[in-house]
Chains A and B, each alone.
Chain A
Amino acid sequence: MEKKDTADLENRIPIHEVWDKVLMLPIYGIVDSKKGQDIMEAILQKVVATKSSVIILDILGVATVDSAVANHLIKITKATRLMGADCIISGISPAIAQTIVSLGIELGEVKTNATLKDALAAAFQLANLKIVAIGEG
């Protein structure tokens, strides 16, 4: 039963292992309390299974970040940190950034990046990895 639940969760919340110990989860649509809880559960299980040290949550596809969604994101970040993994939130559009500020959400120590590209660079750095161009140019 527990095994079936885990497989079901992996299907609903697929998390990419983009590199050794680096995970990435794109979040789409509306994050309600059920989805928030599922994301938390799926991430923590995947962090354990892959012994990951960094996880990127890309929220570019999230419809709205209200205080409840922000609360989920902050809790996920805290929980992953307790397990020894850093969490980076990427895909913060200008509209989302201004809305978060107006709403008065304090993200505190949550690491954020505008783009997934920046978040990946930060994640590689956290995982002590370096991207090097091959040859000239």
Chain B
Amino acid sequence: MTSEAQRIEIEAERDVRLAVRTAVDAARSLGFDRTRSLMIGTAVSELARNIHVHACQGYISIETSRRGEAIGLRIVAQDDGPGIEDLDLALQDHYSTRRSLGIGLPGTKRLMDEFDISSEPGKGTCISVSKWK
């Protein structure tokens, strides 16, 4: 069960900033502590930056999610970019196609409690992550 999704279109670097701020605010108002809110914000930063750098266009949606008694924050990053050829490789530490640190995706997985990725070359990528309180 989910409610009140906020959707941020990612087209420019300022949209990355907006997505991070929105996620941190949403986490804080749900009652996540400072550290875990920062972890969520950092994960959103990685996801939004990936959209900006690799796909140019896409969106981040942020919503409260509930599972039984548990409450958490669910973030979906969807783009219609080039997609990822080899998901296993992309999820390995220190693998990068752009001379970055290559820890964005595996790091995001470590920052969050749940991580799902689906990608089709030429069609786009969808990543869904959640963190539970």
Contacts and interface: CB of A to CB of B under 8 A. Distances in A.
Interface stretch (B12-20, B75-83, B121-129): B12-20
Given A30-B17, A103-B107, A103-B111, A66 B93 contact: no
Q: Which of B35, B42, B46 has the most CB of A within 10 A?
A: B42
Contact of B110 (A33, A94, A96, A104): A104
Given A67-B101, A67-B107, A104 B93 contact: yes
Nearest to A30: B17
Interface residues of A, number: 22
Contacts of B46: 66-67, 103
Contacts of B3: none
A102 B13 contact: no
Interface string A28-50: 00101110000000000000000
B133 interface: no
Nearest to A35: B13
Interface string A88-102: 000000111011001
B49 interface: yes
What DSSP secondary structure best describes chain A's contact surface? Answer: helix
Given A102-B107, A103-B103, A65 B39 contact: no
B130 interface: no
A103 B39 CA distance: 8
A63 B41 contact: yes
Nearest to A34: B13
Contacts of A126: none
Contact of A63 (B20, B34, B100): B20
Contacts of A32: 13, 16-17
A64 B111 CA distance: 13
A94 B36 CA distance: 11
The 10 lowest CB-CB distance pairs between A and B, nearest first, are: A103-B107, A66-B45, A95-B35, A95-B38, A67-B101, A32-B13, A104-B103, A30-B17, A104-B107, A64-B42
Interface of A: 30, 32-34, 63-68, 70-71, 74, 94-96, 98-99, 102-105
